[in-house]
Structure 1
Amino acid sequence: MRWKIVPLSAIALELLSWASLWSCESPAGMALTFGLAHAAAAGTAAWGALGPLSPQRRAASKPTGLFLFAAAFCLPFVGVPAVALCLMVPSQGPTGAPEHFRVIEEPAWPETGGPAEALDVLGNEPLAELRQSKSAERRLALLLSTRYLGGDSAVRLQGCALKDPSDEVRLLAYGFLEARERDLSARIQALTQSLERTQPELRGSLHLERAQYGWELVFLGFAQGELGTHVMHEARAHAQQAVRLLPERGAPCLLLARLLLHMGETEEASKALEEATRRGLAPEAVAPYAAEAAFRERRFNAVRTALASMGPLSGMRPRLERLEAFWR
């Protein structure tokens, strides 16, 4: 109630300043009286605009108060009455609390019985069906079945589901990807802390595992651009340490070769693959990457030799069979 009196007080002070123009005999006294009364009226009007606010908002609105004071003071006979009248106009607040959300029932998720049933649900072309199926329940079942897939296949399907028109499918896909990325980041952080506490000569396995998680973070698309480049350089450094600290194992050399191939360093990758073979790693594990390195170096006879060392591919995907037939 007391804030409603402030505009009236401002108008009264402004009227007093007007009266001083006729009541004072000397020009100096008239100017001084008018200036003080007019400034008091402008200050009262500006104070009335900020007074009803909370202390926090009042502190944040000081520039607004200064602007109102300057506008009222610099416009004699008009400024103060205008500000005071604006304060006297009643303002209507919100009639009711706005509805920020609505409560809906949680939808029932389709269940999958396990890996075997999940493979039946996925079928032969799950990515195409996820994009083209008109049934939201079918797309949701496909997405739930990706829990039993590993590596890039699951992430590719879940990434495609982020563009699904159904809210349930998009939210579930985002949850899967976020959980996967969070798990990888937590493991990398835990391994980094373990490396700091472990003696240097015993860090070989930790370096290898740290490089594997870094490579997986990039391979699955969670680290891209400059971040991906940084993660790759870190993974390469850890893989090189694992190669040095685990001289009898070929797995660190193979991982280092994969990292180098991804970074475009084909010659160094070929050397790492040769070292992996020398350390006794199975030719079937080295051959695909040796074929890729040879293809990049345009050594096509070496590509045929590497593919031949992989053995028969009759039990693998038809695309690999066609690839082997092409290079015969």
Structure 2
Amino acid sequence: MSTDSSMTGRPGNKLKNFSGVRVLEVRLLFYALLAEAGAITTLLAWERGPAAFLAYLLIHGFAAALMATAMWLWFPRGFRSPRALSWMLTFSLALFVPVLGLVGIVGGVLVGYFLPAPRGPEPFETIPAPQFTPVPVATDRSFRQEDLKTLLLSSKSSTELRLQGMLTVRNMPARATSGVLRETLGDQVDDVRLLAYGILDQKEKALTRQIDRALNLIESATPARLYRLYRRLAELYWELHFQDLVQGDIRALALQRAFDFVERALNENDQDGGMWLLRGRIMMNHEQLEEAWRSFDKALAVGLAPSRVNPWLAELALWRRQYAKVRVLMAEIAEDTQFTNLSASVRYWSAP
């Protein structure tokens, strides 16, 4: 609530403000009183009739406008906001209450100048801003991915060390850390639980923003651009599922949306091996093994490297207990491939 110095100052300051009325306000008020006297004289002197009443209204309206302007300029600064509405209120009082309106306006201004503003207990109090103490990062200790889960889920480790581990997890791929983060959502330590929730929420919102941007571009996209947008949306919805960032019905919806956009992309370009590979992985999640196998075969047929497709074909063959087929498929993957995490599996299935 805004306050004015003339309303909250000392009595001497109020008298000074009151006595410092400019000449303009006095003149306007004097002219308003003359016009009002003329209006009353016109109403009493003429014979009763519409013409006399209309003349009275015109002169009285002019007097009310002068009076409202004079009194509005006389108001303390805090009484003049909003400007138009405060002036209209003053004009209405002068117009619709010819004599008592003037008395009320003048009396209100005098009360505002001379009486102190009411003081009551404030419902709020000022508190100091909280201080953030960052967790010290130990320079002589690093975390390996395999021992992070043990550290984060151990109630015996110190909170500071667990928070340091959480900050390390934040910079790691969500597909490798979402599981342990979800397990820490039920942790007894508030800081650990809230930090885990914040990390998961941040990663989910980052993907969601990218999805929203791509969806907004679809309506105005050219056919060539439309294919790329379908492909991008299929990958983004798949990442929501693959990185374990959504659960329940939202997870199922993300997987379905990924499949829908894969189908749209393949309708635009059925030679996209990456989309056939993604389609096969989605079919594996739906446990449609035959359809997944056909999709992987199609990915190989359009030119996708065996090193990218064979691991998934081998997994399908393993589910079917076709161990000889697994050995053949894994043997086709060179040990110097970019899939270094498969090197151990390749060596295992290549052993005599």
TM-score grouping bracket, smaller chain normalisation: 0.5 to 0.7
Q: Is the 8 A contact 2:184 2:192 kept in 1?
A: yes
After superposing the two structures, state which structure 1 stretch, 262-271 or 296-305, moved more.
Answer: 296-305
- 1:124 maps to 146
1:313 is displaced (CA, Å) by 8.0
Q: Could you tell me which of 254, 265, 279 is aligned with 1:256?
A: 279
Structure 2 counterpart of 1:129, one-letter code: L
- Offset, 1:267: 0.9
Q: Which of 297, 301, 305 is the equivalent residue of 1:278?
A: 301
Task: Please give the alpha-carbon distance, in whole angstroms, between the structure 2 residues aligned to 1:244 and 1:112.
Answer: 53
Secondary structure of the residue aligned to 2:287 is: coil
Residue among 185, 193, 212 paired with 1:189: 212
Q: Counterpart amino acid of 2:151?
A: E
User: Pairwise mapping of residues 78-89 of structure 1 onto structure 2 (< 5 A)?
Assistant: none
Gapped runs of 5+ residues in structure 2? 1-121
* Corresponding position of 2:322: 299
Instruction: Name the amino acid aligned to 1:273.
Output: F
Normalised TM-score (structure 2): 0.57
Structure 2 counterpart of 1:108: 134
Deviations 1:115-164 (A, max 9, x none): xx99x333532111221251111111111012331131132232233233
Q: Is 1:241 paired with 2:267?
A: no
1:305–1:312 Cα change, 3 Å: same
Note the C-alpha offset of 1:196: 2.0
1:112/1:266 CA distance change after superposition, 3 Å: farther
Cα distance in 1 for residues equivalent to 2:138 and 2:309:
36
1:137 and 2:160 are equivalent in the alignment: yes
Offset of 1:253 from its aligned partner? 1.0
Shift of 1:304: 1.6
The match for 1:157 is: 180
The aligned residue for residue 79 of structure 1 is: none
Deviations 1:194-228 (A, max 9, x none): 12221345322211110111111112233333332
Counterpart of 2:294 in structure 1: which amino acid? K
Q: Which amino acid aligns with 1:282?
A: A
Indicate yes or no: 2:231 matched with 1:208.
yes
Q: Report the Cα distance in structure 1 between the residues aligned to 2:345 and 2:330, rounded to whole angstroms.
A: 12
**Cα displacement (A) at 1:255:** 1.0
Q: Deviation digits for residues 162-219 of structure 1, max 9, x if unmatched?
A: 2333222222211111111111112112211212221345322211110111111112
- TM-score by length of structure 1 reads 0.60
- Contact kept, 8 Å, 1:236 with 1:256, in 2: the verdict is yes
Greater Cα radius of gyration, structure 1 or 2: 2
- 2:311: which partner in 1? 288
The answer to whether the 8 A contact 1:146-1:157 is kept is no
Q: CA deviation at 1:296?
A: 2.8
Partners of 1:178 and 1:107 in 2: CA distance: 23
Structure 2 residue aligned with 1:20? none
Distance 1:281 1:97 in 2: 69
Q: 190-199 or 294-303, which moves further after superposition?
A: 294-303
Write the distance in 2 (CA, Å) between the matches of 1:112 and 1:306. 45
Contact 1:112 1:144 in 2 (8 A): no
**For the Cα contact (< 8 Å) 1:110–1:140, is it kept in 2?**
no
Matches of 1:193 and 1:271, distance apart in 2:
33
Unmatched segments (≥5 aa) in structure 1: 1-95
Give the deviation of 1:259 after TM superposition: 0.9
RMSD: 3.3
Between 1:261-270 and 1:308-317, the stretch displaced more is 308-317
Q: 2:221 aligns with which of 198, 201, 226?
A: 198
Aligned to 2:240: 217
* Distance in 2, Cα, partners of 1:311 & 1:184: 33
